[in-house]
A and B are shown apart, each in its own frame.
Chain A
Amino acid sequence: MSMIERFLYWTAIVVLIIALVGIKGNISKLEQQVSQASAQVEE
């Protein structure tokens, strides 16, 4: 396997990990907003 091919695989892996971390951050923010909204409903 050439160095270029290896580099491309690693680039794809790093991009996917960054996307995953970003989406996970968004999800936790949204979960907080949803729990705040449902708390307002209970009030």
Chain B
Amino acid sequence: MNPKIERAIYIGIILVLAVLVLSFGKKQIELQESLPLTVDQLYKKLQNPKINLQIIDVRPYEPTEEEEDEAEDYDFYTLAHIPGAIPMPDCDESKTPKEALDHINYYLPTVIISKHGDPKIFQKCAKKFKIVQNVKGGMEAWLDAGYPTEEDEYTPPAAGGGGGCL
């Protein structure tokens, strides 16, 4: 066989295989992103400064006076939240504190924190955010694992939007 033709055949096969590997790789990444994160995976991601991740906390913001006595830490944002988490109760802009609303970026990779990793509220959020993942077990699992938390109201970061720095 003519060496030029043989070479062209080999290169053609390699190119087709490379395109297949790339497209399957892309599909694999998309599938991985659609699965919920565990709290351990989230903690590792937050420790990596190269990963820009926005944490949206969809739990109710603060308890009423009647609720305060019986409330668990994972029930309300102000009782305990992941450092840097932005409150957005029920994934609803109308319930979001004004200072937090300005820091929500719908195009950043986002993780959703609810009380127990509720898939229904995650589905609601998934329609609003472009790249979004749920957290398995939610805030209760984060607290059970003993990872760091903050209390009190949302304080906007000094510069930039989103991000959960530990």
On A, residues with C-beta under 8 Å from B are: 1, 5-6, 9, 12-13, 16-17, 19-20, 23-24, 26-27, 30-31, 33-34, 37, 40-41
Contact B120 A41 (CB under 8 A): yes
B residues in contact with A33, CB < 8 Å: 35
| Given A13-B13, A40-B119: A34 touches B34 (CB 8 Å cut-off) | yes
Complex-state Cα separation, A17 to B10, whole angstroms: 14
A26 to B21, CA, bound (A): 12
Contact with A along B1-37 (1 / 0, CB 8 A): 0010011001101100110110011011001101110
Q: Are A13 and B28 in contact (CB under 8 A)?
A: no
In the complex, what residue of chain A is closest to B7 when comparing beta carbons?
A1
Instruction: Report B-chain residues with C-beta under 8 Å of the C-beta of A30.
Output: 28, 31-32, 35
Q: Which residues of A contact B105 (CB under 8 A)?
A: none
Instruction: Tell me the nearest residue of chain B to A2, going by C-beta.
Output: B3
List 27 A–B pairs whose Cβ atoms lie within 8 Å, in order of A's numbering: A1-B3, A1-B6, A1-B7, A5-B7, A6-B10, A9-B10, A9-B11, A13-B10, A16-B17, A16-B21, A19-B21, A20-B21, A23-B21, A23-B28, A24-B24, A26-B28, A27-B27, A27-B31, A30-B31, A31-B31, A33-B35, A34-B31, A34-B34, A34-B35, A41-B119, A41-B120, A41-B123
Task: Known A-B contacts: A6-B6, A16-B18, A24-B24. Give 8 more (CB < 8 A).
Answer: A5-B7, A13-B17, A20-B21, A27-B31, A30-B31, A30-B35, A31-B31, A34-B34
Smallest CB–CB gap between B164 and chain A, Å?
A: 23
Measured CB to CB, the closest approach of chain B to A35, in angstroms, equals 11
Docked pose: A35 CA to B80 CA in angstroms: 32
